[in-house]
């Protein structure tokens, strides 16, 4: 299982790779819309 403190490092790595490949990164609001989530969605705890 991935430890929670590693998650920011993994997100930063994915963002870096996506940018290197010319992909745009969704904002948090855009990601919620893509995933069909509301702003008030409960966050999960790891």
Question: Domain range for residue 24?
Answer: 4-35
* pLDDT higher at 18 or 6: 18
19 with 26: CB under 8 angstroms?
no
Q: What is the pLDDT of residue 6?
A: 81
Q: Cα–Cα distance between 16 and 46 in angstroms, integer?
A: 24
Q: What is the pLDDT of residue 7?
A: 86
Residue 17 covered by a domain: yes
Q: What is the pLDDT of residue 41?
A: 53
Classify the phi-psi angles of 18: left when phi > 0, otherwise alpha if psi is within -120 to 50, otherwise beta.
Answer: alpha
* CA-wise closest residue to 25 among 37, 16, 33: 16
Residue 12 covered by a domain: yes
pLDDT single digits (tens) 7-44: 889 999 999 999 999 999 999 899 999 999 988 756 66
Residue 45 covered by a domain: no
Q: What is the pLDDT of residue 25?
A: 93
Number of domains the chain contains: 1
């Amino acid at each position: 299982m991935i430890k929670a403190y590693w998650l920011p490092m993994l997100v930063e790595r994915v963002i870096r790779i996506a940018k290197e490949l010319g992909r745009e990164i969704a904002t948090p609001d855009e990601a919620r819309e893509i995933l069909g989530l509301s702003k008030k969605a409960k966050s999960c705890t790891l």
